[in-house]
């Protein structure tokens, strides 16, 4: 029987370093958030949850999330940071008393992320279901990362803006780190967005 995996797509931040709402920035056929959802929907997962915070109602309405096969969690304390939003979402999932073998955490601002890479993470987890499967960032490990259920309680206690990074890097002996190369690029500023679009348009020529 395949392992039961839930996905949290983190989209709660205010994108203060960008002019505009990062989750809604145009990308491919729609925007960052919707394209991330499309990517995850191609993966072998049981449940997809979008974690919103800043501009939650606007994002939900513009992306028509209620019409998609996803769950939506809104963290009213999103300003306390990514760690707080992860903790809030995991608490909600635990309260729902649904059974998952693992939770895969992704970001909505990594537009180059592919479903092939996410399935690679999932396949590695199925071989080593007691391990955290993380993504190599050189000197550290980050998301996308897939956590087995023995870590759900600790995830529900995360705080601050570092997300799962500090937690991941304390668990080095329990992690298998995979290479995602340029897929780990995240977009935080308008300059980075313009570079992304320029490179994308250039490669289409």
pLDDT of residue 205: 39
Mean pLDDT score, 39-61: 96
Q: How far is CA 106 from the centre of its chain?
A: 1
Rounded distance between C-alpha atoms, residue 93 and residue 152, angstroms: 10
> Band of the pLDDT at 162, cuts 50, 70, 90?
confident
Cα torsion through 157, 158, 159, 165, rounded to 10: 170
54 token code pair: 């800043």
85-111 b/e with 16+ CB inside 10 Å = b? bbbbbbbbbbeeeeebbbbbbbbbbbb
pLDDT tops 80 at residue 203: no
At 202, is the pLDDT very low, low, confident or very high (cuts 50, 70, 90)? low
Would you say the pTM of this structure is higher than 0.85?
A: yes
Helix, strand, coil % over all residues of the chain, rounded to 5: 45, 20, 35
| Tens digits of residue pLDDT in 26-37 | 999 999 999 999
The helix (H) or strand (E) run that includes residue 145 is strand 141-148
Burial 1-35 (b: 16+ CB within 10 A, else e): eebebbbbbbbbbebeebeebbbbbebeeebbbbb
pLDDT at 1: 66
- Would the pLDDT of 87 be above 60? yes
- Name the token pair of 107: 């970001």
Name the 3-class secondary structure at 148.
Answer: strand
CATH architecture of 5-204: Alpha-Beta Complex (3.90)
Beta-strand ranges (E) seen in 57-125 are: 71-74, 102-107
Decide if 117 contacts 42 (C-beta within 8 A). Answer: no
């Amino acid at each position: 029987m395949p392992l039961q995996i839930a996905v949290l797509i983190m989209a709660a931040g205010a994108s203060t370093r960008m002019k505009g709402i990062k989750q809604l920035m145009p990308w491919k056929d729609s925007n960052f958030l919707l394209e991330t959802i499309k990517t995850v929907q191609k993966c072998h997962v049981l449940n997809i949850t979008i974690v919103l915070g800043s501009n939650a109602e606007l994002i939900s309405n513009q992306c028509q999330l209620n019409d998609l096969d996803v769950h939506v969690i809104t963290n009213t304390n999103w300003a306390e940071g990514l760690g707080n939003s992860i903790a809030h979402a995991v608490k909600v999932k635990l309260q729902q008393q649904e059974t998952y073998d693992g939770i895969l955490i992704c970001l909505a601002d990594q537009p180059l992320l592919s479903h092939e890479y996410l399935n690679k993470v999932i396949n590695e987890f199925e071989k080593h279901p007691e391990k955290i499967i993380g993504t190599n960032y050189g000197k550290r490990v980050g998301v996308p990362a897939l956590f087995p259920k023995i870590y759900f309680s600790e995830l529900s206690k995360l705080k601050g803006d570092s997300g799962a990074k500090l937690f991941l890097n304390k668990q080095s002996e329990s992690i298998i780190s995979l290479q995602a190369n340029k897929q780990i690029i995240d977009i935080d500023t308008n300059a980075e967005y313009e570079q992304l679009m320029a490179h994308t348009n250039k490669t289409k020529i």
